[in-house]
Amino acid sequence: MQIKDLSRATGVDVETIRFYEKQGLLPEPARRDNGYRDYAASHLERLSFIRHCRALDMPLADVQRLLVFVGEPAANCGEVDQLVDEQLARVRARLKSMRALEKQLLQLRARCSGTHAGHCGILDELVSAAHGEACACHAAASSSRLSGRQAQSF
């Protein structure tokens, strides 16, 4: 099959397929007489594996390591468990960060009581933060607050 067919079958962009080939994640296919790449079912299977790993947000280096294990079925899979544990730790750290972000946005959102931008607590907080002052969403040591939003260029 041609690269466009492989792309359609897997949902992976053509340029990404070429990138994976350059990175050694996907072996280069044979070439037809006309120079077109000729992908086999093994390319489809491997690319689908890579896509699934990437959908789990695994770094390419980890995908490469997993591909080694796919090719060595008799190898001890302890490292595979470790890779998944490390990915879980990264995901949990991001979740913690996202919960903190949600809290900050809720604190910022609570500052709005006006109906016009000139009296918007959210914008006042964001402008204050841009001036290096404490804001509702980042409880840092407060320096003097601006009284209202001042028209200043950043």
Do residues 135 and 94 share a domain? yes
Lowest mean pLDDT among 56-60, 88-92, 112-116: 112-116
Among the three residues 50, 73, 96, which one is the final residue of a domain in this structure?
A: 73
Distances 66 to 40, 63, 82, 124 between C-alpha atoms, Å: 21, 5, 11, 49
Give pTM, 2 decimals: 0.72
Do residues 80 and 112 share a domain? yes
Percent of residues in the chain assigned helix, strand, coil, to nearest 5: 60, 5, 40
How crowded is the C-beta side of 146, counted as CA atoms within 13 Å? 18
Do residues 94 and 130 share a domain? yes
Do residues 116 and 144 share a domain? yes
Do residues 137 and 108 touch, judged by C-beta distance below 8 A?
Answer: yes
Do residues 20 and 46 touch, judged by C-beta distance below 8 A?
Answer: no
98-127: per-residue pLDDT in tens? 999 899 888 888 877 766 656 687 888 888
% of the chain exceeding 70 in pLDDT: 85
> Directed axis angle between helix 3-10 and helix 14-23, to 10°?
100
The total number of residues shown for the chain amounts to 154
Domain that holds residue 41: 3-73
Q: Residue 73 — pLDDT band, cuts 50, 70, 90?
A: confident
pLDDT for 116: 63
- Give the count of domains, the chain: 2
The pLDDT of residue 50 is above 50: yes
* Assigned domain for 154 exists: no
Do residues 69 and 89 share a domain? no
* Amino acid of residue 153: S
129-154: per-residue pLDDT in tens? 888 887 777 665 344 444 444 444 44
25-47: per-residue pLDDT in tens? 999 999 999 989 999 999 999 99
Q: What are φ and ψ of residue 138, in 5° steps?
A: -130, 90
138: three-class secondary structure by DSSP = strand
Do residues 68 and 95 share a domain? no
Do residues 143 and 88 share a domain? yes
Among the three residues 57, 73, 89, which one is the final residue of a domain in this structure?
A: 73
* Amino acid of residue 50: I
Q: Take residue 58 and report the two structure tokens written for it.
A: 């695994």
CATH number of the domain that 45 lies in? 1.10.1660.10
Among the three residues 19, 48, 73, which one is the final residue of a domain in this structure?
A: 73
